[in-house]
Homo-oligomer: A and B are copies of this chain.
Amino acid sequence: MRLEEVDTPALVIELDALERNLRRLNDAVAGQVRVRAHAKTHKCAEIARRQVAAGAVGVCCQKVSEAEVMVAGGIGDVLVSNEVVGAAKLARLADLARRARIGVCVDDARNVAELDAACAAAGTRLDVYVEIDVGARRCGVAPGKAAVALAREVAARANLRFAGLQAYHGAAQHLRAMAERRAAIELAAAAVRETRAQIEAADVPCPRVTGAGSGSFMFEIATGAFDEIQPGSYIFMDADYARNEWAAPLPRFEQALFVLATVMSRPVPERAVVDAGLKASSVDSGLPLLWQRPGLTCVRVSDEHGVIEIAPGAAAPALGEKLLLVPGHCDPTVNLYERYVCVRGGRVEALWPIEARGALV
């Protein structure tokens, strides 16, 4: 089937671009650190397996339910790069460690005790990373003393392995200028180095520091303070990442994810309406862009409509014509679909299920 024959809205992967993105990441990293790709972006075991085949040690997830999907899909090393709270989720996480190497983050001593108890009940052990807040002001204990205390708590538990530090600076990923992102990551790295030194001075070995995202990972690598990176969006990119300044040392990634939409209304010459609104392309980080259609601009969306302004002189799309949109934000857009329509050279080559779509719990 040709791409134009696919009914819409549909979530489309350009396979050549995806494959080049996979290679470019590993070429840029060049073995300096471990790559643990973030599966919260794609939620798809097929893509996770390709990331591992390209050199990733495994994946990270944000939810236990995502980790369950990844383990079921054959991924042997999964880090839940997030805190997990509540007896039901802890029991599932501990149970999952029967089937794969599983890690998790902590920022609370009571949670450490509950994790240990869950592992004792399941007869398993988890890798536990102490999350430190390196600037995102979200989860994580403060760098330094608080992190040392928590690392000791973890290390003292029979059913937990203290695996190191989680130090992800989410807020830095979309600082637009390269220099701003580099500066934010250098501050994060200073906090990491100091914390790791204090932990090791307390006679607790700190095997690994993990963190970084698609917008910053080469800066983390340059600091020498990180052992592992967690990029997710690099495989797809989106309109928000495209607004970042992007230059060496970051490799150039290509847009590989699109929403295919149909023009469903041409009420006046200067306006087209497509059948993809905010239930088809998440707008939390801005409106979608039109792909390779100069003069066409998505100016607003409602639940099921995208309103496109046609500039004077632009090639105007006809009723029924199909257009490719670049989502504002790839991760929550993926979460709206059941499957990817994978295309190469304009032909559908595969459908990949998004098994962890809606995996919230």
Contact = CB atoms under 8 A, between A and B. Distances in A.
A124 interface: no
Nearest to A305: B138
Contact of A284 (B111, B275, B283, B337): B283
Nearest to A133: B267
Interface string A109-141: 011000000000000000000000100011111
A50 to B, nearest CB: 22
A137 B271 contact: yes
B361 A7 contact: yes
Contact of A107 (B267, B282, B320, B357): B267
Contacts of A63: 304
A136 B342 CA distance: 35
A30 interface: no
Given A137-B307, A139-B265, A265-B139, A320 B170 contact: no
A279 B332 contact: yes
Interface size bracket, A side: 35 or more
B40 A9 contact: no
B139 A264 contact: yes
Interface string A332-344: 1001111000000
A144 interface: no
A331 interface: yes
Contacts of A138: 265, 267, 273, 302, 305, 307
Contacts of A282: 278, 282, 284
Q: How many copies does the complex hold?
A: 2
A8 B332 CA distance: 18
A319 interface: yes
Given A62-B304, A304-B62, A304-B82, A7 B280 contact: no
A179 interface: no
Contacts of A7: 86, 88-89, 361
B40 A264 contact: no
A326 B271 CA distance: 34
Contact of A319 (B82, B85, B280, B284): B85
12 contacts: A8-B86, A8-B361, A9-B361, A40-B303, A40-B304, A85-B265, A85-B319, A108-B265, A138-B273, A140-B265, A276-B360, A336-B358
Interface of A: 7-10, 40, 62-63, 82-86, 88-89, 107-108, 110-111, 133, 137-142, 170, 262-268, 271, 273, 275-276, 278-280, 282-284, 301-305, 307, 319-320, 331-332, 335-338, 357-358, 360-361
Q: Which 5 A-B pairs have the closest CB atoms?
A: A139-B265, A62-B304, A85-B264, A9-B360, A83-B264
